[in-house]
Amino acid sequence: MELTLVEGVWPFAEENPGRIASHWALAIKNNPALWNGKLLLAERPELSGNCLRANSIEVSYSSYLAWRDWGYPEKSFFSVFGSAIIRSREGYLVFGEMGMHTAGAGLIYPPAGSLERSDLGEGGRIDVFSSAVRELAEETGLVVDNAGQANPGIGDFVSRAGQLISVNRVFQFDQSAASLVKDIEEFMATQERPELAGLVVLKTMADIDKNKTEPYAIGIAKHLLG
């Protein structure tokens, strides 16, 4: 991974301030839990050999949400993010269904989140996998120390769907899927407002709800189950 944070402005946000403000006002009226923080978008990322490279800039969440909801009209920028793939002892996958108070309400995908300035490492490089590990803990309570990386042959990989690029790391837990679900549900019960509304165990591709599962997440499942 060679994602580097640079100073820059996003043409999409510069050209649509009024429309973005109106869109955000309606969004928070419908969902007051939304927060207009900052996230990172990558400009023209390139996958060369085993390395993903791009310069990234910081943008407001309100502009990102408008870009997403309007069908990603600016095609030179991409949302690159890390996903933590939960894999059970049987080789099943555990995805989450997002809560109704989140921007992804009702959608199904692995623990993941937008990259932020706090994910910066040495030399301005963005640590995608630290972000994935953070989201894993925040959404499920699972700790990476309790899991090794996937078996040899299932290394890190990317899954792209349009302007979304998920950089995936598989965590192999020495627990059954049922045990993992139980642990995650117990963790969710301790939260005042859990990010997840529920869990989905994928044993085969037949278990995927294509109407609710993000296309890039379907790609992840196909790579690991198909």
CATH number, domain of 190, equals 3.90.79.10
Q: Provide the pairing of β-strand 51-60 with 2-5.
A: parallel
Domain containing residue 45? 2-225
Q: Does the pLDDT value for residue 98 go beyond 90?
A: yes
Q: Does the pLDDT value for residue 58 go beyond 60?
A: yes
Query: Tokens 């790609």 appear where?
Result: 219
Q: Indicate the helix (H) or strand (E) that contains 116.
A: none
- For residues 7 and 40, is the Cβ–Cβ distance under 8 A? no
Amino acid symbol at 14: E
The whole-number pLDDT of residue 149 equals 57
Give 166's contacts (C-beta < 8 A, 6+ positions apart): 81, 82, 83, 112, 158, 159, 160, 216, 217, 220
Mean pLDDT of 27-45: 96
The dihedrals phi and psi of 103, each to the nearest 5 degrees, come to -70, -20
Structurally, how many domains does the chain consist of?
1
Share of the chain above pLDDT 70, in %: 96
Q: What is the pLDDT of residues 101-140, one digit of tens each?
A: 999 999 999 999 999 999 998 777 899 988 999 999 999 9
Q: Does the pLDDT value for residue 95 go beyond 60?
A: yes
For the four alpha carbons of 83, 135, 218 and 57, in that order, the dihedral sign comes to: negative
Looking at every residue in the chain, the average pLDDT score rounds to 93
What pTM does this model have?
A: 0.93
Query: Tokens 């049922």 appear where?
Result: 178
Q: What is the pLDDT of residues 143-198, one digit of tens each?
A: 886 555 555 557 899 999 999 999 999 999 999 999 999 999 999 999 999 999 99
- For residues 68 and 177, is the Cβ–Cβ distance under 8 A? no
